[in-house]
Amino acid sequence: MSKYLLFDADDTLFDFKKCEHHAFIRTCDNYNLNGVSIYGDYVEINNGLWEKFDLNQVTKENLVVERFKNLFKLHDIAADPIIFNTDYLRNLGDERYLFDGAEKLCGDLYNSGKYEMYIITNGVASTQMARFYGSPISKFFKNIYISEEIGYQKPLKEYFEYVINQSGIIRGETLIIGDSLSSDIKGGNNADIRTCWYNPEYKIFSAIEYKCDYIIHDLNELRGILEI
């Protein structure tokens, strides 16, 4: 039985694509930039850098600046990527859109009295804290563990060892729920913790590279797995 639930935040509970889009457009508006026309390029650059971060190939400090530096170079934009990133992260912290059903699911899990729930995230600490504690689901979770504060990121085993040691959870009674194969599922595999892959887009995965104990395509499918 899973008593301890480790939920990823972005693209699992939070509709990060919607949050990201709104924050990006708002920030571009402040700089008189056409955010709609360059947003697709930003997403491609940003996602590529985050994939490198998951593989420990780039630091968080470099990532958050390089994404805008590369974007501005591509479109010949004369803006300071450091200042722009600061403004963007502040706006992103104000965007707290949850997936449909996420708030009720978390509330039902909490009110069942059967589970302790935690957030595990690789996001930027200041942004994740603002979004999480400003959201209606924060009251259901016992703590949030952010890679930037820990010094290790998912999927590194050290990240999960820190979470286990700090929270006092029991490895064999824990379930990780997340959308990312490379950070959430791989992290669970590295740390010998059971995993549930949230896969709303019905993506294909390599059974050789990743081991998923459960695969769901809708968050409410967790109700059957956890029996609430």
Sign, Cα dihedral of 157, 159, 163, 166: positive
Whether residue 136 is preceded by a cis peptide bond, meaning omega within 30 degrees of 0, is: no
Q: CA separation (Å) from 168 to 50, 105, 119, 142, 150?
A: 29, 24, 15, 12, 16
**Of the candidates 96, 49, 91, the residue with the CA atom closest to the CA atom of residue 68:** 49
Cα separation of 80 and 65, whole Å? 9
Cα separation of 187 and 153, whole Å? 9
**Residue 80 CB: number of other CB atoms within 10 A?**
14
Name the 3-class secondary structure at 117: strand
Which residues are marked as active site? 8
Identity of the amino acid at 17: K
Cα separation of 224 and 77, whole Å? 50
Token reading at 171: 């490895």
Sequence length of the chain is 228
